[in-house]
Amino acid sequence: NAGVMQNPRHLVRRRGQEARLRCSPMKGHSHVYWYRQLPEEGLKFMVYLQKENIIDESGMPKERFSAEFPKEGPSILRIQQVVRGDSAAYFCASFDRGNEKLFFGSGTQLSVL
């Protein structure tokens, strides 16, 4: 039973480029959360998605950030025109509605040069 898969583990981008972060939830889970961890900070909520539906995006910056979770394929967190302040670890977690626990991926460390 594969866990939550995130890729890539490390992503380096130059300022102005686009970053795409992928998350495949655990088998049978149809809901995912995205969190961002800045240095010396905790996990900050970004967005909560169901397949083909954004349920809560109140933690997403208004510009340059978007997320999707298509019917087929992984959830994608997309950051356009990255800036140095976007450098952080981005974690995805799939949600088990049965026991209401989150199962986290290993994260993607984004570094913007």
From 19, 24, 29, 33, residue interacting with other proteins (rule: CB under 8 A): 33
Pairwise CA distance, residues 49 & 14, whole Å: 28
- Residue 23 structure tokens: 């998350």
- Chain positions 78 to 97 lying near other proteins, rule: CB under 8 A, are 91, 93
Q: C-alpha distances in angstroms, 93 versus 12, 54, 84?
A: 22, 15, 24
On the CB side of 1, CA atoms within 13 Å amount to: 5
From 1, 14, 27, 58, residue interacting with other proteins (rule: CB under 8 A): 58
If the CB atoms of residues 15 and 97 are measured against other proteins, the closer one turns out to be 97
42 binds other proteins (CB under 8 A): yes
25 binds other proteins (CB under 8 A): no
